[in-house]
Structure 1
Amino acid sequence: MNPVDVTRGDGPVILGLPHTGTFLPDDILTRLNPRGQLLADTDWHIHRLYEGLLPGATTVRARFHRYVIDANRGPDDASLYPGQNTTGLVPLTDFDGEPIWTETPGPEEIAGRKTRFHAPYHAALAAEIERVRAKHGVAILYDCHSIRSEIPFLFEGRLPDFNIGTNMGASCDPRIEAAACDVVKATGRSWVVNGRFKGGWTTRHYGQPARGVHAIQMELAQSTHLATEAPPFDYDEGKAGALRESLRGILGRLAALAPVLAAE
């Protein structure tokens, strides 16, 4: 099984999709407990939500589930949010802090998962970034995510609909952050920049504006596009339709900025 799907486009924007995959090898699936086998922490239907929104966009999508290994964590497993509850490179609990394994993966197994899944995803993503940057002078990586709107273990209260992360402005040109903010502001929905989610390892690692690589993460509350944030996590066409127009606007604005950034 190829752990990553790449669809090459000829435009300057790359969509990263690290958490929409649901594949688990049998030897891993059978060691998840019943709670783990719900796969509740999937970024449900995000690939469907973004499909076709920006002609020419490249997509890099992990096919494996984040419980196999989290493609948005660094290979060193350093915490993205020191002092706060979070999950690691190979999660031991779900987003509610509950155990998901009948047998916890050990260091040797985790090393094997890095080789089989994590490394190929990032090799593919890095290759597409360099290809796009060579073609356009810049590459804009837009990392696509979603999460349940209420998870007390991770954050208090209800998450805003749009959660934009730019590593406190370090991962992209300020005009990219501003463009995304302008679109979400006009929706009348709730939103925040660099709130609880400031961008994961992908955004922080690849976002190097001085090299012409700009990265921004969008974490959507799942209430914006799911019929229910509990099993079976069905997609809501009505909710998603309205949201897609806003996302189309963001991606279009980012693509339009690329030649401006490349010319400087």
Structure 2
Amino acid sequence: MDPPTILALKQAFLERTTRQLSQPLAPSSAWRRKNDLRGSDRGGAAAAAAEHDRLPPRAVDDALVRANQLLQQHVRRVYAPPALRHVAEQLDQLYHDEPIGRNDGVTDYSSAETIKDLLPAWEDAAEAEALPLEARRYTDLVEQLQSLSAQRTEVHARVQRLRDMALLLGGLGGTAEAPTVQDNLVTRDGPVERELERMRLLLVRVGDKVANLPERPYQAHQTPVGMDVDDADVMDVEVVGQKRVRALLEQY
């Protein structure tokens, strides 16, 4: 069973208090007995004076009926359930909104530090022995409260980590109208992968075209004066490559 909230506790307190204030008015039995005995043990003028001080029971009952009617009207008008709920909500809101802390003499029981410092058991041993159920309930509530506080701390830390991560990765977002660096990352079926596939097919086609071009035989007498044979071979290969590229480009 979940522990009651602050709002539920305050509303229950208001309901108990209003029930006490809503009880019908009635004189005590001691007052009625004293009122009935007035003048009964006296005689003469003293008895007449005491009888004059005595309130007639019928008049007392009529006054009580009228007073209780007014009381019930007041209770229905002032202590209606919606009004009690509204007052409880106001108290609960004030409890959460009021700036409280250790420095001003008021303890904030919603803070993690205060919850951590709560005693694990009822401090007064005599009261704990006299009220075992309340003492046990206090221990259970402290354990549950500290467990929930630890979970809240972990959640706050995780939220902060996610916010920091979102801040760092904010520049990697973007839209189709305003792409960012994310579009340049190599991902499966991404734009870079599609472009690499096109380049691979183009290289295959270019390679086939170059391989099918006619090769020019090497002519030793064309070696320029003062150039070694190895240098001439390198120059001949470059010339052949340039001619093949020009021939390939002329086909498009």
TM-score computed with the length of structure 1 as normaliser: 0.20
Q: Which has the larger radius of gyration?
A: 2
Q: Which structure dedicates a bigger proportion of its chain to strand?
A: 1
More helix by share: 2
Ranked by relative contact order (alpha carbons within 8 Å, sequence separation 6 or more), the top structure is 1
What is the TM-score with the length of structure 2 in the denominator?
0.21
